[in-house]
A and B are shown apart, each in its own frame.
Chain A
Amino acid sequence: MKLITHNMLTSNILKGVTKGFPLKIKADKVDNVSVDYNRDFITRIIPRIEYDALRAAVNDLGLNESLPETMPEAVQQDDEFLKTMHKVLLEYEVEEGELICPETGRKFPISKGIPNMLLQETEVS
């Protein structure tokens, strides 16, 4: 699971959970893979990223990446920022661990890089 994917997942499918976002990450194994930098792609995807949730994820993983507190205004011109975003969104793979619902504490296991968001019948809202 890359952080780009974490950024879109929510636990609001659970009964009683309203927002369920962002999910907390408890990572047991994180791989760092090198991915070719595609500036255009990162520029296209940034408007769809919930920035605060991404920062929270970086914090959960204890990554040594410096994302400014707020997104720079002139994102398009800020190559250094775009490169950091590229790295954070695509280059870290959470292989083993769990996602934790911020409201109920329900844990969703991540195994072999795939988050398991399946629910029991009784948990469905």
Chain B
Amino acid sequence: MKLKELESHLSNVENFSNAKEYLEQYMTTPHLAARMIYTAQTQYDDIENRSLIDLGIGTGMLSIASCLLNADHVFGFDCDLDALGLCQSNIKEFELESSIDLIQADLRRMSLPVDLNRIKADTVIMNPPFGTKPFSTSTENQDELCLSGIDMHFLNYARQLAQHSIYSLHKTSTRDHIYKKAKDWNMKIDVLAVLQFDIPKLEKKRPNRKISTASNAPLKSIEVDFIRFEIKDNVDD
């Protein structure tokens, strides 16, 4: 399948109607998702005939893109039931029920309900929350909020789950830190592209942040790195 064709299919993935700000729910656009997954397949052969895990699956955009490029199977995790419901309806729309399974689990915690000693996916795909302030500032109800550095929590799970490689998005402004972490975790890191990502514009001092974003909220563009991590222990696979 050609890149344009993939992107065109993905335009049928339905977006959040009421995205939850505190979970940093913003959809990976068809444009970005198509480029991410197409690159992972054509440059690195990491999608077709591979088992995948999608952390923070959201609308299902990345997983659906992967299945359109013939991934074997995807396990998708998300903590939010509304997102999982939307994802399920998107999966149904694409008739991919047999290829994607969903699990509700909270990735903001330090453990995943998965046997990490055994099952590993070949490839982990994710568009993690970026830990963008002001969500990350502590409040009385921390459990409801994303944490500062949440993308590093996701990356830490991903490296335990992926047998071979991880595809992820991280804010370009945090690149030095990510390089350092990748080194600590013995992963090869390649920034494949710098992309523009539109996220809802936030009011900095709103007292109640547990509010949702309407799909027509004003957007601001931030720079994100599209990164491929490779697990070094398995480089010879």
Chain A bound to chain B = yes
Tell me whether A8 and B119 are in contact (CB under 8 A): yes
Using CB atoms, name the residue of chain A closest to B113: A117
Of the residues B49, B85, B143, contact of A41 by C-beta under 8 Å: B49
A5 within 8 A of B: yes
Using CB atoms, name the residue of chain B closest to A49: B119
B198 within 8 A of A: no
A114 within 8 A of B: yes
Tell me whether B111 and A114 are in contact (CB under 8 A): no
Tell me whether B102 and A11 are in contact (CB under 8 A): no
Give the interface SS of chain A, mostly helix, strand, loop or mixed.
Answer: loop
With known contacts A2-B101, A44-B49, A117-B113, A8–B75 Cβ distance under 8 A: yes
With known contacts A113-B102, A114-B103, A119–B109 Cβ distance under 8 A: yes
User: A91 vs B122: C-alpha distance in the bound complex, in angstroms?
Assistant: 22
Using CB atoms, name the residue of chain B closest to A99: B113
User: A95 vs B6: C-alpha distance in the bound complex, in angstroms?
Assistant: 31
Which chain B positions have C-beta within 8 A of A4? 73, 101
Which chain B positions have C-beta within 8 A of A114? 81, 84, 88, 102-104
Q: Mark A98-125, 1 if CB is under 8 A from B, else 0.
A: 0000000000000011111111010011
Tell me whether A45 and B73 are in contact (CB under 8 A): yes
Tell me whether A44 and B104 are in contact (CB under 8 A): no
A74 within 8 A of B: no
Tell me whether A112 and B72 are in contact (CB under 8 A): no
Using CB atoms, name the residue of chain A closest to B51: A45
With known contacts A9-B114, A10-B115, A50-B118, A41–B102 Cβ distance under 8 A: no
Tell me whether A10 and B97 are in contact (CB under 8 A): no
Which chain B positions have C-beta within 8 A of A90? 98
Using CB atoms, name the residue of chain A closest to B102: A114
Q: Which of B85, B101, B106 has the most chain A CB within a 10 Å cutoff? A: B101
Q: Which of B51, B103, B109, B120 has the most chain A CB within a 10 Å cutoff? A: B103
Using CB atoms, name the residue of chain B closest to A38: B72
Using CB atoms, name the residue of chain A closest to B119: A8
Tell me whether A5 and B49 are in contact (CB under 8 A): no
Of the residues B49, B72, B113, contact of A9 by C-beta under 8 Å: B113
B79 within 8 A of A: yes
Told that A9-B103, A45-B72, A115-B104 touch, could you supply 5 new A-B pairs with CB distance under 8 A? A12-B111, A12-B113, A13-B111, A21-B115, A114-B84
Chain B residues proximal to chain A, CB less than 8 Å: 49, 51, 72-73, 75, 79, 81, 84-85, 88, 97-98, 101-106, 109, 111-115, 118-120, 143
